[in-house]
Structure 1
Amino acid sequence: MNIFFVTILTYGLYRLAKFITTKVSFPLFHPLLFTPALIILTITLLNIPADDYLAGATLLTHLLGPAVIAFAVPVYKHLSILKKYVGKIVITVLIGSIVAIVSSYGLALVFQLEEHFLISMLPRSITTPLAMEVSEDTGGVPALTIVFVIITGICGSLIAPSVFKLFAIKSQMAKGLALGMSAHAVGTNKALQYGEEATTFSTLAMVLAGVITIILGRVFIPLFL
């Protein structure tokens, strides 16, 4: 299918979803949930095979990498602050990564999920491009991983403000690390609401979590299977 057509179609549906979600004040009406629903509805009505749509969406898929790299800008701007807290940042993200993997395994056990579901769920707390790589390398299903990543990101960004309020968390560093670690790119987008410093810490946490999860995944997955 024509890449240009699919790109315009997808972007148009995303803008429509974003417009609708700004008019409807309901947590589950999130662009990342609503856009896929609109895409499924559209390609079904137009009788477009899913494989053809995915083939035409390769440009958008390849742009995921550069989009993540672009988050390096705020990190560079606040490099001096990051150097000051490097030890705390690494320990926080390491613990968060372990908790994310172990909790994913716990959820898989509770719901008695099959092995490929378990493997696909483990990297749910890191950004999509890295999560897809981890899933594919360890025998998971990247398409399933994307679903888990989106759900995790949306839930994390929705729950975070209540958690911050409940525990009276004021620190931009704490907010940023929590959002980047638990809700990756969606959380980093949420961190923008708290300021540039929070966004910087969130970005760093997201990147570090991805690297650490890639390493830990190879250690934990054989133990879980």
Structure 2
Amino acid sequence: MIDIILITLLTIGLYRLVKALERSFPILLFQPLILTPILIILTLSLLDISVEQYEQGAKLLTHMLGPATIAFAIPVYKHFDTVKKYLGLILVSTFIGSFVAIFSTFLLGVIFRLEDHLVVSLLPRSITTPLAIEVSTEIGAVPALTVIFVIITGVLGGLFAPKIFRLLQIETSMARGLALGMAAHAVGTNRALTYGEEAATYSTLAMIFAGIITTSLGLTLLPWLYSLIS
């Protein structure tokens, strides 16, 4: 119990430190999803704490991933009438986005001749972490690698989306929200909040539907792609 409390406080403390740095110096290095894991690794090395000990101690935080993801449903509830109006468009958009994300990742992996386990671990990178881990396990990939790719995808999507929106003059809440939720999942949804609650609603829906669709494809399309590179 003491280990759980200490490691939880350590993790939260490092995260809050990085958030403070990010507010003062808004650069890529100080993104919490980048710098916090680096600081945790350095701290574990200095304190001689094994990865297994940290995983056991961080169970409380790990279990909170699910409820944290579900909490994104709150803005969906508040804008339910708008959601019903555009539900068909949202479903079609997220299906196309999910398919393109998987197939383009596969093609690029083959073009650059990445090792098989890297390609397979990359395929579920465009969905939120809890679902990505399950899909990665289901298709025989390496969940730890998938988590890294999910984080990288989310951080880059959240960073570059505003620049792309300005470049392409994308101004509607729906377009911004769906793009962020589809391309950058939870990080994108957090970024969508800066464009307003309606954009966050669409981003949440895109993240949820992309997770469901990719999980379904994980039982059909992904094993077939995996068989092509095996």
* 1:162 counterpart letter in structure 2: K
The whole-number CA distance in structure 2 between the counterparts of 1:44 and 1:27 is 24
Q: Is 2:155–2:187's contact at 8 Å kept on the other side of the alignment?
A: yes
Match of 2:5 in 1: 4
The match for 2:37 is 36
Q: Percent identity?
A: 57
Q: Deviations over 1:114-162 (max 9, x none)?
A: 2222221111010000000100111111111110000000111111111
Would you say the 8 A contact 2:117–2:142 is kept in 1? yes
Which residues of structure 1 form unaligned runs of 5+?
A: none
- 2:213 aligned partner: 212
Q: Counterparts of 1:59 and 1:52 in 2: how far apart (Å)?
A: 13
Match in the other structure for 1:175: 176
SS class of match (1:221): helix
SS of equivalent residue, structure 1 residue 22: helix
Tell me the residue number matched to 1:70: 71
2:193 pairs with 1:192? yes
Consecutive unaligned residues of structure 2, counting only runs of 5 or more, are none
Distance 1:27 1:62 in 2: 28
Q: Look up the SS of the partner of 2:28 in the other structure.
A: coil
| Cα separation, 2, equivalents of 1:161 and 1:51 | 38
- Please say which of residues 123-132 and 161-170 is displaced more in the overlay: 161-170
Q: What are the equivalent positions in structure 2 for 1:1-225 lying under 5 Å apart? A: 2-225=3-226
CA–CA separation in structure 2 for the residues paired with 1:175 and 1:91: 16
User: Is the contact between residue 120 and residue 141 of structure 2 (CA under 8 Å) also seen in structure 1?
Assistant: yes
Extract structure 1 runs of 4+ deviating beyond 4 A: none
Structure 2: which amino acid aligns with 1:109? V
SS in 1 for 2:49: coil
The TM-score with structure 2 as length reference comes to: 0.95
TM-aligned CA deviation for residue 186 of structure 1: 0.0
1:54 Cα deviation after fit? 1.1
Distance 2:170 2:59 in 1: 41
SS in structure 1 at match of 2:217: helix
Counterpart secondary structure, 1:41:
helix
2-structure distance, mates of 1:46, 1:22? 28
Q: Structure 2 CA distance, aligned partners of 1:107 and 1:35?
A: 29
TM-score (norm 1): 0.97
SS for the counterpart of 2:140 is: coil
- 2:139 and 2:223 in contact (8 A); partners too: no
